[in-house]
Amino acid sequence: MSLYLDNAATTPVRPEVLEAMAPYLTRFFGNPSSHHEVGEVAASALDDARARVAAVLGMRASDVIFTSGGTESNNAAIKGLVLGSGRRHLITTAIEHESVLASADYLARLHGVAVTHAPVDGTGTLTPAALGSALRDDTALVSIGYANNEIGTVQDAAALAAVAHERGVAVHLDAVQAAGWLPLSGLGADAVTVAGHKIGAPKGTGILAVRGRLPFEPLMHGGGQERGRRSGTPDVAGAVAIARALELAEAERVDEAERVSALRDAFIARVLALIPDARLTGHPTRRLPGTASFVFPGTNGETVLLELERRGVVSSSGSACAAGSEEASHVLLAIGVDRDEARTAVRFTLPHGLTASLDPVADAAAAAVSAVGSRG
């Protein structure tokens, strides 16, 4: 079986998570809105899951909304907070996930919201000064990714939030890739997004935490569940699952980050030594512990991936949402990578629990690049 190094795309469900959620798929199946014993058991589990999530995020239980995943959470945060604010200016960057960029485009097209893409540098970093220059009196929201899903660059979220708050502007933090690797509390964010399938919970589970004092226009209308912020019968089993996964990831986070970072750094060094033309993308040090992303000039990224898989390594060329696309990565273009070179990108994203050296993977990468380059 191949070694799976595409964990930024998705992760397997953890056994502890399956065990925690299973009773709410079978025995405790009630609708938590029902006022009888069966429903009350489900409601109690939902409340407990909400409190567990809030404890990790450093927010109140009443701030936590359970969603279907990162895309819904990002859509709800951006549209809900901007439309609820009465202001008509949004700040984000050009390197964000497609769900953020598409939400910004929707607001611009259909609601007349002005959108500013604050500039990032060649490592994908947004500086507090650059954010400060983009703020306006009518800015409703700053929406940034805590850690980039393609190049792994980590933003100084607390510093950016402080700049926005000086001007009375709310901050949404897309923490989908950061969860399990970076601290999620004490950052000053007003809204935080988490996706379950990145941390060992099932696909279709997500979190949006929004501080209750903020005006919020819901996307989903109906029976007023989730304190009126997301109508629809809650997925109790999914809520239990993502709460357990987040709790486990947070408990293991510090040790995991330290160990995997060391393995990542050794892997990066070996790849760069074996493949002279290879270039690391993203910030050289302020990057996710599990992310190593490269461009291999003179090759084609998708072809390199096929060669890697032949050698027993599964990785990706960037965001899973754009897999198979012939277009160059918008993230790489935004940080100044040439369009042709951007098409040579390969991203390795490592799992929690990794203990073995990645030297064989670096060797496989060198062989794959050599095989592709020899044909060109």
Average pLDDT over residues 110-125: 98
Q: What is the pTM of this model?
A: 0.95
- pLDDT score at 327: 81
Q: Give the per-residue SS3 of 14-80.
A: CHHHHHHHHHHCCCCCCCCCCCCHHHHHHHHHHHHHHHHHHHHHCCCHHHEEEECCHHHHHHHHHHH
> In whole angstroms, what is the distance from residue 142 CA to residue 187 CA?
14
The DSSP annotation for 137-200 comes to: TTEEEEEEESB-TTT-BBP-HHHHHHHHHHTT-EEEEE-TTTTTTS--SSS--SEEEEEGGGTT
Question: What are the sequence ranges of the domains in the chain?
Answer: 3-9+253-375, 15-249
In degrees rounded to 5, what are phi and psi of residue 117? -95, 100
pLDDT score of 320 more than 70: no
- Residue 259, burial from CB neighbour count under 10 angstroms (0-12, 13-18, 19+): middle
Same fold, 3-9+253-375 and 15-249: no
> In whole angstroms, what is the distance from residue 311 CA to residue 62 CA?
49
Confidence class of residue 321 from pLDDT cuts 50, 70 and 90?
low
Residue (of 239, 214, 243) closest to 229 by Cα position? 214
Average pLDDT over residues 273-288: 97
Question: Average per-residue pLDDT in the chain?
Answer: 96
Q: Which of 251, 262, 306, 321 is catalytic?
A: 321
- Are the CB atoms for 260 and 285 separated by under 8 Å? no
Confidence class of residue 10 from pLDDT cuts 50, 70 and 90?
very high
- pLDDT score at 375: 65
Residue (of 294, 336, 333) closest to 315 by Cα position? 294
CA–CA distances in Å: residue 228 to residues 80, 86, 355, 364: 12, 19, 45, 52
Length reported for the chain? 376
CATH number of 3-9+253-375: 3.90.1150.10
pLDDT score of 1 more than 80: no
pLDDT score of 354 more than 70: yes
Among 33-37, 230-234, 256-260, 323-327, the minimum mean pLDDT is found in: 323-327
- pLDDT score at 350: 98
In degrees rounded to 5, what are phi and psi of residue 295? -115, 145
> In whole angstroms, what is the distance from residue 289 CA to residue 175 CA?
14
> In whole angstroms, what is the distance from residue 303 CA to residue 299 CA?
8
pLDDT score of 333 more than 60: yes
Structure tokens at 71: 């895309």
Active site residue 11: no
Average pLDDT over residues 83-91: 97
Average pLDDT over residues 201-230: 95
> In whole angstroms, what is the distance from residue 347 CA to residue 48 CA?
37
Residue type for position 40: E
User: How many C-beta atoms surround the C-beta of residue 245 within 10 A?
Assistant: 28
pLDDT score of 376 more than 90: no
pLDDT score of 69 more than 70: yes
Confidence class of residue 374 from pLDDT cuts 50, 70 and 90?
low
CATH number of 15-249: 3.40.640.10
> In whole angstroms, what is the distance from residue 303 CA to residue 284 CA?
26
pLDDT score of 322 more than 60: no
Sign of CA dihedral 360, 361, 362, 363: positive
Per-residue pLDDT reduced to its tens digit, 138-171: 999 999 999 999 999 999 999 999 999 999 999 9
User: How many C-beta atoms surround the C-beta of residue 368 within 10 A?
Assistant: 25
> In whole angstroms, what is the distance from residue 19 CA to residue 15 CA?
6
